[in-house]
Amino acid sequence: MSPTRYVFGVYHWRRRFRSIGLALAAIALAAVFRRRTADPLRRAAAESVAVGASVHVVRVLRRMLSPPPWAVERAKYDALAERLPLADAERILDVGCGTGRSLVGMAPHVPPGRDVVGLDVFDSRIVLGNGPELARRNGARAGLEVTPIVGDGAALPLADGSVAVVTACRVLHDLEASAVDRALREIHRVCEPDGAFGLLELPLVPAGVSSDPDRYWPDRVSAAGFRIDVLERLERDGNADPYLVLVATPIAEPDDG
């Protein structure tokens, strides 16, 4: 049986394609310069430029393919999903679902017939191919009937207390600090009183924030009115940074600050 094929798009593709294009242009110019000069030092300099640009292209391509646009990397989503009450959740919301990688990752833990909502701004300028239809298609290939909603995590277009489980996977650190707080308060608002919120994050914080990620995320989630039930570091192979896995329950009104 052949593996299921997914397409999750290429992240930061414009910047990376531009970088590759400039490096290829440098390689071409260096090759032309080398052919037109007989001076050994100038030829060596041209070769050095070409080698440096080639190394840069390889590095950028490696970043583009880490993870590959078709890879699920299910282990980190398993770590989060196993700590969430997905079996009892009638409605599940994934904030910042993008092309659906996190939904596909958690799919084996979601019983059939659940109402699964994927919310994202669906900005294809950041992720090549990012759009509601791709999120729906990838979800369907994983056995989920996903309802994509175009929206902002800091102003969720959902009713109060209407979602049993809310997740946010590797997305909140891309927001400004004030937007993080608004998004967490919105997640608290739409979460059922006995629901749950699951956060999967890299050890990163929003730009301009100096706090330690291990303290920043539980502090902000607590300030949004949640009780932290699970806070774990998920170690990864090699020198890769660990993930933060956090599961919380709404218990109070968010702090005004």
Summarised one tens digit per residue, pLDDT across range 79-112 is 999 999 999 999 999 999 999 999 999 999 999 9
Instruction: Check pLDDT > 70 for residue 133.
Output: yes
**CB of 150 closer than 8 Å to CB of 136:** no
Of all residues in the chain, what percent carry a pLDDT higher than 90?
81
pLDDT of 237 over the 80 cut: no
Q: Give the closest residue to 93 by CA, choosing from 106, 83, 82.
A: 106
Q: Picking from 6-10, 83-87, 148-152, 219-223, which range would have the lowest pLDDT averaged per residue?
A: 6-10
Residues 55/61/65/69 CA torsion (nearest 10 deg) = -170
Which pTM value belongs to this model?
0.87
* pLDDT tens-digit readout, 24-38: 999 999 999 999 999
Which two three-digit tokens encode residue 109?
A: 């833990």
| Dihedral of alpha carbons 116, 121, 127, 128, sign | positive
CA distance 176 to 68: 27
- Predicted local confidence at residue 124, as pLDDT: 87
| One-letter identity of residue 148 | P
Task: Quote the pLDDT of residue 67.
Answer: 81
What is the share, in percent, of the chain residues with pLDDT greater than 70?
Answer: 97
Say whether pLDDT at 155 is over 50: yes
Note the residue count of the chain. 257
> Residue 152: pLDDT above 60?
yes
